[in-house]
Every structure is written in C-alpha cells, then in structure tokens.
Structure 1
Amino acid sequence: MILKSAKLYGQEGLWNIEIKGEQIVNLLPADDFIDSSHEKVIDLAGKLVLPPFVEPHIHLDYVLTAGTPRWNQSGTLFEGIQCWSERKLVVKETKEDIKRRALKAIEMQMKHGIQHVRTHVDITDPSLIGLEALLEIREEIKPWMDIQIVAFPQEGIYAYPKGDELLEEALKMGADVVGGIPHYEFTREDGVQSVKKSLELAYKYGKMVDIHCDEIDDEQSRFVEVVAAEAYKLGMGELVTASHTTAMGSYNDAYTYKLFKLLKQSKINFVALPKANLHLQGRFDSYPKRRGLTRVKELLESDINVCFGLDSIMDPWYPLGDGNLIRVVEMGLHACHMTGYNDIVTALNLITSNGAKTLNIEENYGIKKGNKANLVVINTESEYEAVRCQSPVLYSIRNGEVIVETKPAETKMNIPEFSKQFSE
C-alpha cells in the first residue's frame, strides 16, 4: 500500500508512506518515485496523517449505564459513586452483558481513530466479573486495538471490605496496571496508605500505576505529592500516572511552586479529563465556580507529561460522550486557557504522543520507517484546522490494513446569489 501525498503531523511538505505487510518500509518526499507494484495507492491529497489516537483513561465496564437504577441528579463525583454502588446491588449483569456494552463503546472509539486504550475496571466487587469481561475483550480485539486494564478500587482499597485483597487478586488475574482512589478513603491516613499499597503492589508484580488522584475541589486534598514522592523513592515514576488531580486547580501558588519541583523530579505522568471534570467539579461552589481542572498549561510548560482522555461514555459520572477525543482537545484548550496559536497546532500531542508516553508504549509508536503501519488520516490539511473544525477521521489503518473508512459529509449551498460572491 502507498499513502500518497500525506501531510505528516508536525512536519513540513508532503510525503509518500510505503507500507508492506504490517510495516512502514519507506517515508519519501511526495515528488520521489513511487513503486508501481503496489496493488493499492490512496491519494491523500495533502490530508493530515498522525499516529493512532490514544485514550488513556476510560471506564469500559461502566459505559452506557447512565440512568440505571437512577440518574445522578447532583452531577457530583460522590453521587456517581453512590449510583454505581446501588446499581451493583439491583442490576445483576452477566459477563456477556458487560462485554456487549463495552464492545459498543469500543466500536465508537475505533470510528474516531483510537487504537490504544487504558481502561479502568472496578474491582470492588467480590465476583470480579467486570475484570473477567474486560480481560476476555482485551484478547479478542488485539488485532484492532491494544487495551491496558487498570485494577481500579472504585469504593476504596480500605473503605471497601477486603479491597486490598481484591486489588492483589485482580493483578494475579492479569490486570496490567494498579489503581487507587486515595481521596475517597475514610481518612487522610488511609489515603496515604492506599497510595503506598498501590505502588508496593506494582513494584512487587512488575506493573504500572494509575491513581485516581485528588478528584475533588478541596485544596487540602494533596495525595499527588504522596504519589510523586513514593514513585521517586522507588525509581518508577515513568510508569506512574496521576489521573484527574483536579484539586491542583485550587492549590495556592506557593504550595504549587514547591510541588512542581517534586513532580518534575519524580517523572510521573498526568491525565486530565476536561469534559468529565468540567461536568463534575465546582458542584459545591456557588459563584465564582471553579473550572475543576488540573494545571495543564503549567505542567506542560514545566516539561511534565500530560495527556487528555474522555473518562466516560454515558455512565453515572458523565451522561454524554461518544469516544471522540478531538472534541476533548477542543474543550480542554478552552478550559485551560490554551488557545494561543502554538498551543492549538501542537494540541493533538495530548491525544497521541503524550498519551503513548503515559501508557509506556513509545518505543513502537509513531510514523517511522520500521514501525508497524498503525496510523490515522483526518480530513484536513493543517494542524490548526484539525482542531478548529473538529476534523473527522477518514481512515484508521492498523497493521497495514484499513480497519475504518469514513466518507465525509457534503454540503451543497442552494443559494445562487450567495455562492456567486465566492466565485467572483
């Protein structure tokens, strides 16, 4: 296969991408000779080509459950957890039910060019049925998508009976990443201990870590310093992620200045969830209302890795969502005051290379000679327009095969006088 006249993300000029079997075998300037022996040539006419999108934070066991047994009327994180706890008592889903919902969401993600996913799975359930379902899906869809599974103690490692034992059992069953939720534990001391437990287990089993950390507007919720300090002491910061960290948006600047020194030394990663946290946070404020997001711009300026994720698709914590990460980028740029030109033209890093670094898949990720032919083509000729116009994915290519193809909508203006103005 040849992808002719491709605009490579972040690079000047047009390129021909030569693919043989599952690999990219050549990247040549568009004017160079094209081997005519290839059976398939797709002329992209300058369309933008990127590595596949990376979803670093989703809950595939929760998707499409909003409204059962009831809607989260307050919109708070805590009512969402309560709704989910109630649902587990009254809705007796089978493993097949969970897989059916998750696969519907995965189809949405694939349509939007996502090929790498980190999903959290609730393990505060003695049956561990959600984990079983996602472990099966992880293997079944490997040809089209890579999935990492986080063993996530939604109701706490210590706040839930035998939560620590369930967490370790989930790792033995095959979860890839150790989770945690320290701000939901009963006390500050339990929260600190839960962080230490998560990293201890990760170190013991050779796993990565992804903590739901400080997802609250309380400026005194400071578990991110514990995550960073423990990761630094163990020398495993690049394998550790702090997700949400919305309390950081409420920290005073003096404390934040001190904190950033530790964050940089630790080398931990951050995931921000703009759509979900704009919805969830600030619910206890009257006015002014906090944005409820972490300090994305400042983290990036300090060369600390940050990526964007969606978090939810129609669940008790977020009633919307369709798997489209470019919409997340647009929302995040607005909410984080990142609408300068340079912020915009590099924004897709937040759902590509930065996400790959968070998932620790950088080694084989990207459009490079010798890498797997995994990439997406979007319907635009510039990075700026990709964000401004929310350009859709035209092709998603996986291991040298087109797995998704979308024909863009066409709009015809039936106003002759109006159209004439543009032709003169």
Structure 2
Amino acid sequence: MQLERVLIPRRVRGFDDGRPDAQAYDVRLDGDRVAAVSPADGPAQGMLLSALVDAHVHLDKNYTVGQVGAAQGDLFAAITRMAQARAHWSGPDLRARMTRALEDAWQSGTRAMRTHLDWNERDAPLSLGVFEALRDAWAGRIELQCVSLTPLDLFAGASAGEDIAREVARAGGVMGAFVYRNADLEPKLRRVFELARQNGLALDFHVDEGLHADANGLALIAELAVRMGMAGQVSCSHCCSLSVQPEAQAQATLAGCARAGLHLVALPTTNLYLQGAWDRTPVERGITRLREAAGHGLRGCIATDNVADGFYPYGSYDLLETFGLGVQVAHLAPATDWLDAITTSPARAMGLAWDGRIAPGCPADLVHLQARDEFELLGPTGRRRTVIRAGRPL
C-alpha cells in the first residue's frame, strides 16, 4: 500500500531531512510496517499522523448524563451525582458503555487510552474487573491503561493506602489521586509518592481543577517528584488554577514541572464546561498554560476526559475534535505544530513502546486525513480520515 503526497507534520516526523513543513511525501507500507518515506513532487493531497493517543479518559462514567443530568459548571455537584449513580452500576452496564466508547475511539483512529476509574474506598471498584477483561479483549487494537482515581485524603489511612497501591500494582495500573486545596497537602502527597515508589507505580493526578489562584498542588507535586526520585514518572491533568495565578508564580511552577519531567495534560472540553461563571458569559477559559509550558520545553497533551456524563454532557471519542477545540481556546498556532499533543507527547506520558514518530520501520498504525494544510485540519472536510491499523485501512 502506498500513500501519495501526504504532509507529515514536523513534530510527528521520525526523521530530519531538513525539508520545509510544506514538503509532501510518498509513504510505502509493507505489511504492518512503514517501509519507506520519500519526498514527493507537487502539492500535498492529504496529511498523515500516527494513530492517536488519548492520555486521559473516564470510561466508567461515560454516557450517563441521562441518569445524572448536566452539572452546568458545578464540579462538586457532578461528583456528588456520580457517586449516587455509581451505587446502581452493574458489570453488564459498565461493559456496554465502555465498549461503546472503545468502538468510537477505534473508528476515530485512537491506538491507546488511559482511563481513570473512580476508586473511592479501600476495596477495588466494580469497574476494575470490567476494565481488565476489556483490556484483554481489545489487545492489539487499543492499548489500555487504568488509573485509580482516589480522593487524596483516603491515602492518609495507612492500611487503606497500602491496599489500594497493592491492588493497582497487581492490575498493572497507575496510581492516582484527586488533589484540590487539601489541608496538610504536603504530607498527604508525600504519602502517595512513598506508596508509588514502594510498589513500582507511576503516578497520575487530577490536580488544581478549579480557578482558585491559591491552589498550588501542581507546584508541590513537581517538587516531590524531584525530591523523591520519580522525575519523568508523573502526569498531572487539569491544572486549571495555573491559568489564573500571577505570571511570575505560574512561570516558576512550570519551570519546576520541567525539572521534574512532568507530563502535563490539558482537557479543554470538560474544563471549559465546568470552570468559570454560569450566570454570565465566562471570562476565564479553564485551560492550563500549554504555550507557556512549551516555552520551558514541556510539550503538553490534549485529551478527551469526560463524554456524555455530568462533568461534560456532550462530546465523543474523536480526539481530533477535542484537539480542534484546544487549538482555538488556547491559541495554538500553527495548529500543525501542536499535533504532538495527541500523538507523541501522550505516547511518552503513557510509556508506550512506540513514541508515535513516523519513519521507515515504524508501525503502520496511521491516520490519513484529507486536510492539506493547518487551516483545513480543523474543518469537517479536512478531518475526514482513513484509519490504517497494521497496514490495513479499517
């Protein structure tokens, strides 16, 4: 199979031939690998990306908005409603909703997903067993990872924290916590780092998911990652308060994040929906400082987060749609220069075997778009695609 005259955005290229961004290439596939990438004459007639990587989703919550209602900007109302609904979930219900999400993501061109699973007690949630079964069933199509989404204060109890960490390790998962203006924040976070280190676990935090400038969990997590020898093993999602902090404070925090090798994940759909005023047009945008992070060498990710639940009542698992929203709300231009946010950056954050860069010998897991430039990329025609997995179009 040969793909003719396609653009390969610079940040997705696994080669450096010195050619300009507008250079088109012919890409030859042989079996499940890219066999050759050759410069082509003439204008581009499409764009080629590696298959997409979604570093932050909630497969257990999705498609429940009909049960719980839309929270309309109230994060903690959404948390309360979801807790009430969770008591009535069943294994078949979870499997059906999670499978629906995976099928949507698969058709949209996603090759890997990291899902957070609500884990509010010492014992593992019902969703973990469903997740493990689906991870096996979808192996070879979508690589799945799970994160325990646990209230930070639950880790303060020694035995509860140890039980959670051991079960996450058994399941081959990542340990996580919800962090927002907690009392005694430093010792509680230090406890989570200690548990992760003892059990050989990476960490993934929901942190500073609000617009209070005094929410400083991100800065403390970065400091602890360095102090406790876990640099490069920590992801931090949301980080909304960073957007409203004074410039000097925000820049100092981002410098600390860069030193710690943190993986920063922006979630434009949910954060635009939940953050800022609802009694007037919101001024605050609720998205973290992706551009400033890049200035520190920290290339962030853009991920889906919630779909059709109380936290975000709309959406789908088409990561390109979420990317388009992120480009507009964070003024990420040129858009093609930020496609690493849904390909190579989340691949690094998730520790995937392939970093998503296209070059001879890489997997032939690709997304061929009709877009011929950065401007068509965000339109419905430009986003029309052929998803190629193991060298074959879906």
TM-score (norm 2): 0.88
CA distance in 2, matches of 1:94, 1:392: 36
Shift of 1:347: 2.6
- Aligned partner of 2:13 in structure 1 is none
Is the Cα–Cα contact under 8 Å of residues 207 and 237 in structure 2 kept in the other structure?
A: yes
* Match of residue 54 from structure 1: 53
Amino acid at match of 2:78: G
1:23 is aligned to 33
Match of 2:141 among 105, 129, 144: 144
- CA displacement at 1:368 relative to structure 2: 1.4
Partners of 1:155 and 1:199 lie apart in 2 by: 12
The answer as to whether partners of 2:152 and 2:177 remain within 8 angstroms in 1 is: no
Superposed displacement of residue 45, structure 1 = 7.3
Aligned residues of 1:182 and 1:194 also touching (Cα < 8 A)? no
Q: Is the 8 A contact 1:326 1:390 kept in 2?
A: no
Q: Does 1:77 align with 2:75?
A: yes
Counterpart of 1:116 in structure 2 is: 112
One-letter code aligned to 1:168: A
Query: Does the CA-based 8 Å contact 1:178-1:201 persist in structure 2?
Result: no
Q: Output the CA distance in 2 between the equivalents of 1:14 and 1:205.
A: 47
1:57 aligned counterpart, secondary structure: strand
Maintained 8 Å contact 1:178/1:207 = yes
Summarize deviations over 1:110-150 as a string: whole Å, max 9, x none.
22211111111112253521011111111111121111111
**Bigger shift: residues 359-368 or 212-221:** 359-368
Q: Is the 8 A contact 1:61 1:98 kept in 2?
A: yes
Q: Kindly provide the amino acid, as one letter, of the partner of residue 295 in structure 1.
A: R
Alignment of 1:272-287 (within 5 A): 272-283=266-277
1:212 aligns with 2:203: no
Alpha-carbon distance, 1:297 to partner? 1.5
Q: Which moved more, 1:312-321 or 1:358-367?
A: 358-367
Give unpaired runs (5+ residues) of structure 1.
32-43, 405-424
Instruction: Assess, with a 3 A threshold, how the Cα gap between structure 1 residues 100 and 268 changes in structure 2: closer, same or farther.
Output: same
Structure 2 CA distance for partners of 1:165 and 1:86, relative to 1, 3 Å: farther
Whether the 8 Å contact between 1:64 and 1:315 is mirrored in structure 2 is yes
Provide the secondary structure at the position in 2 that maps to 1:242: strand
Q: 1:291 aligns with which of 273, 279, 285?
A: 285
Match of 2:150 among 128, 143, 153: 153
- Please say if residues 124 and 160 of structure 1, whose CA atoms lie closer than 8 Å, have aligned partners that are also in contact: no
Counterpart contact for 2:180–2:217, Cα < 8 Å: yes
- Among 183, 187, 204, the alignment partner of 1:188 is 183
Whole-angstrom distance in 2 between the partners of 1:6 and 1:253: 40
The one-character-per-residue Cα deviations of 1:336-357 (angstroms, maximum 9, x if unpaired) are 233x4x3x23132221122222
SS at match of 2:146: strand
| Secondary structure of 2:97 counterpart | helix
Partner of 1:198: 192
* Residue 386 of structure 1 pairs with residue 380 of structure 2: no
Q: What is the distance in 2 between the residues matched to 1:120 and 1:373? A: 28
Q: Deviations over 1:168-189 (max 9, x none)?
A: 14313314211111217xx421
Contact 1:19 1:26 in 2 (8 A): yes
Shift of 1:216: 1.3
SS at structure 2 position matched to 1:282: coil
Shifted more, 309-318 versus 167-176: the winner is 167-176
Cα distance in 2 between the residues matched to 1:133 and 1:167: 17
Whether the 8 Å contact between 1:51 and 1:352 is mirrored in structure 2 is yes
The 1-side partners of 2:159 and 2:97 are apart by 28
CA 1:193–1:71 in structure 2 vs 1: closer, same or farther (change >3 Å)?
farther
Matched, 1:356 2:364: no
Secondary structure at the residue paired with 1:157?
helix
Return the letter of the residue paired with 1:24. V
| Distance in 1 between residues matched to 2:294 and 2:173, nearest whole Å | 27
Against the structure 1 CA distance between its residues 163 and 59, is the aligned structure 2 distance closer, same or farther, given a 3 Å change threshold?
Answer: farther
3-state secondary structure, aligned to 1:111: helix
Q: Paired residue for 2:170?
A: 173
1:399 aligns with 2:394: no
Quick one: structure 1 residues 367 and 15, their matched pair in 2 at CA, closer, same or farther if it must change by over 3 Å?
same
Q: Aligned Cα RMSD in Å?
A: 2.6
User: Is the 1:52–1:115 Cα contact (8 Å) retained in structure 2?
Assistant: yes
Structure 2 unmatched ranges of 5 or more: 11-20
Q: Give the structure with higher Rg (CA).
A: 1
Which has the larger displacement, 93-102 or 169-178?
Answer: 169-178
Residue 195 of structure 2: SS of its match in structure 1?
helix
Secondary structure at the counterpart of residue 114 of structure 2: strand
Identity within the alignment, %: 24
Which protein has greater RCO, CA pairs closer than 8 Å, 6+ apart?
2
Distance 1:375 1:401, change over 3 A: same
Match of 1:100 among 96, 109, 126: 96
Residue 88 of structure 1 aligns with which residue?
86
Could you say what secondary structure the match of 1:237 adopts?
Answer: coil
> Where do 1:208-357 residues align within 5 Å?
208-283=202-277, 289-338=283-332, 340=333, 342=334, 344-357=335-348
